[in-house]
Structure 1
């Protein structure tokens, strides 16, 4: 509503001349400020002069804003730009990055100078200030859009950090599983070495025992050489069986080791596939999020349009209801007035309710009746 009134507002000739003078003074002062603004390589004495000039210009700017507010213009945004100019001037004195501060100060001054020039041209030609309000509204919209973009970027970064954290946890779990499998393989290798050592020791022990028993039997029982040879054969058979058993065990352990190696390769390939799958899921989530945001903006715009239509319909319905109530009250009042007037006419015997005049005979007859009634009362 305020923007609509400011668009339709047209200054009178006297106010126009006053506004033109104020805006021209502001433009001249900004141009002087641009002329006296020092370069980045000048000494600090010029910076102090520039700070004094800025203070004088800001004081005149506050005076101009007060005059604009007296004429009904929007001075809040001009005050914001003046405050930003003042803050930039103070930062130019104390900050180490003097070049960046001076560049920002120069940009603000040029923006204010262009804005005041356009406002001066419009006020002098048309007597309005619609371009000024339009430019200020555009500045606010750009600022809001940048803030929304920054918030969306922060949300995306937070989501990426969460996904990276999940990926690190998944990788840690897979590494733990691989470490467990490697520990099992090492344990099986240790068992295999123990079995080999045990079988070798048993073989040595049996061989020595057989040799000792053969020697003892040969010394003690020369006649029982045949039986000793048979026992030697049985011992050799046992040794063969032990060797066969140890070979089978070794083959089984090798086969089990190969199976474990295949499982390790399988889990490594599956780990890589899971990483690729999660990367694709992350890309799809980003695309779906972008489409969801676009759809949300469209639905928000549709909601605002429908809300405006509903508000207009409610206002029209309220007006019709008030109009109907007014008509009903007027009808009741008219009925009461008619009833009152009819009662007045009946009581005063006006119009169709007045008494009709009768003839002379009728009057005589009434007198005779009255006389008879009087005699009866006397009796």
Structure 2
């Protein structure tokens, strides 16, 4: 993937350098003439090539097919040969038409913008194809990851199934051991009873009833043991069915909980994103209001300083006025002079 990105970047850089080298698509008069002569030579060569392809498709194949049947068999086996020839013919006609358009434009206007626009279109198409390839690679990678997860889940399920099968085999072995034990016990008791009967039948007829009762008791014990074995078998089967059902329930619960947890994680991601957006909005509002508060406090502080300055000026003026009044009172100046001095001044003035 990194290599494809590197190659696509190199290709785009090469295209950009080609387009920059073309410039605005206008040539001077001497280079225009040489360019037109080169275009005419290319057009003539392409017409000859197109003519040879048409003649080879129309006549050459038929003659060669008559003279060489082995070659016709090979062409039948390879049907892409004719398609390749058709494509070569179409491509040659397209290139010839393009060169004619460029030649006409060069003759009329002295530019070759059609060629530049074609290069731009091919560059854009190549970029789109590279993007599609990169998306395909990313999709293949995700598919491989999903396959690995599926393989891991199947391995875990197989391990659980193998554990349950081992438990089932163990229970079957225990059942077989119990059945063998019962068979041995019943065989032993029956043999012992027959031996005792043969030995004691002639000796004492009195103990016959006792032996019959003991035989009945043993038979009842055997029936009880058989009944117990059947109940154990039924219990084991029921327990096995319960375990199988429980394993299915646990598997279903596992899938449900996984889906529930994924949904919950998605919901939590959405809530986190929404809260992040609201947090960003609150941060912007906080910054705006904090700026407003700072401006308000600065204005308030400036008004307070101005007010204190005015009060200081006023208080200083009051202090100066008070000091001056005190000086005038102490020195008896101005309106604070005594009346005698005033009269003397008035008399002197009259003289």
- TM-score, normalised by the number of residues in structure 1: 0.49
Residue in structure 2 matched with residue 167 of structure 1 by the alignment: 150
Residue in structure 1 matched with residue 92 of structure 2 by the alignment: 109
Residue in structure 1 matched with residue 73 of structure 2 by the alignment: none
CA–CA distance in structure 2, aligned partners of residues 26 and 240 of structure 1: 110
CA–CA distance in structure 2, aligned partners of residues 199 and 170 of structure 1: 44
Of 49, 62, 65 in structure 2, the residue corresponding to residue 33 of structure 1 is 49
The aligned runs of 1:51-70 (5 Å cut-off) are none
2:26 is equivalent to residue 10 of structure 1: yes
- CA-CA distance at 1:117 after TM superposition: 1.9
In structure 2, the residue corresponding to 1:37 is in which secondary structure?
A: helix
Residue in structure 2 matched with residue 214 of structure 1 by the alignment: 197
Whether the 8 Å CA contact 1:7–1:128 is kept in 2: the answer is no
Whether the 8 Å CA contact 1:6–1:130 is kept in 2: the answer is no
Residue in structure 1 matched with residue 345 of structure 2 by the alignment: none
CA–CA distance in structure 2, aligned partners of residues 262 and 197 of structure 1: 30
How many residue pairs get aligned? The number is 232
Whether the 8 Å CA contact 2:201–2:208 is kept in 1: the answer is yes
- CA-CA distance at 1:259 after TM superposition: 1.7
In structure 2, the residue corresponding to 1:246 is in which secondary structure?
A: helix
CA–CA distance in structure 2, aligned partners of residues 102 and 30 of structure 1: 15
Deviations 1:198-249 (A, max 9, x none): 3233223323322332343333333444544554454345334433432332
CA–CA distance in structure 2, aligned partners of residues 177 and 111 of structure 1: 66
Relative distance call for 1:224 and 1:28 in structure 2 (3 A) is closer
Residue in structure 1 matched with residue 281 of structure 2 by the alignment: none
Whether the 8 Å CA contact 1:185–1:260 is kept in 2: the answer is no
In structure 1, the residue corresponding to 2:26 is in which secondary structure?
A: coil
The aligned runs of 1:128-207 (5 Å cut-off) are 128-207=111-190
- Structure 1: tracts of 5 or more residues without a match: 48-94, 285-379
In structure 1, the residue corresponding to 2:192 is in which secondary structure?
A: helix
- Structure 2: tracts of 5 or more residues without a match: 1-15, 65-77, 267-351
2:12 is equivalent to residue 19 of structure 1: no
- TM-score, normalised by the number of residues in structure 2: 0.52
CA–CA distance in structure 1, aligned partners of residues 25 and 226 of structure 2: 112
Relative distance call for 1:210 and 1:104 in structure 2 (3 A) is same
The higher-RCO structure (CA 8 Å, 6+ apart) is: 2
In structure 2, the residue corresponding to 1:220 is in which secondary structure?
A: coil
Relative distance call for 1:224 and 1:9 in structure 2 (3 A) is closer
Of 219, 226, 229 in structure 2, the residue corresponding to residue 243 of structure 1 is 226
- CA-CA distance at 1:40 after TM superposition: 4.5
CA RMSD after TM alignment: 4.1
- CA-CA distance at 1:135 after TM superposition: 0.9
Deviations 1:63-112 (A, max 9, x none): xxxxxxxxxxxxxxxxxxxxxxxxxxxxxxxx995334434433442342
- CA-CA distance at 1:183 after TM superposition: 3.9
The aligned runs of 1:332-351 (5 Å cut-off) are none
CA–CA distance in structure 1, aligned partners of residues 219 and 188 of structure 2: 13
Relative distance call for 1:5 and 1:236 in structure 2 (3 A) is closer
CA–CA distance in structure 1, aligned partners of residues 230 and 84 of structure 2: 85
The aligned runs of 1:238-317 (5 Å cut-off) are 238-263=221-246, 265-266=248-249
Whether the 8 Å CA contact 1:40–1:98 is kept in 2: the answer is no
Whether the 8 Å CA contact 1:9–1:128 is kept in 2: the answer is yes
Relative distance call for 1:98 and 1:251 in structure 2 (3 A) is closer
Whether the 8 Å CA contact 2:25–2:116 is kept in 1: the answer is no
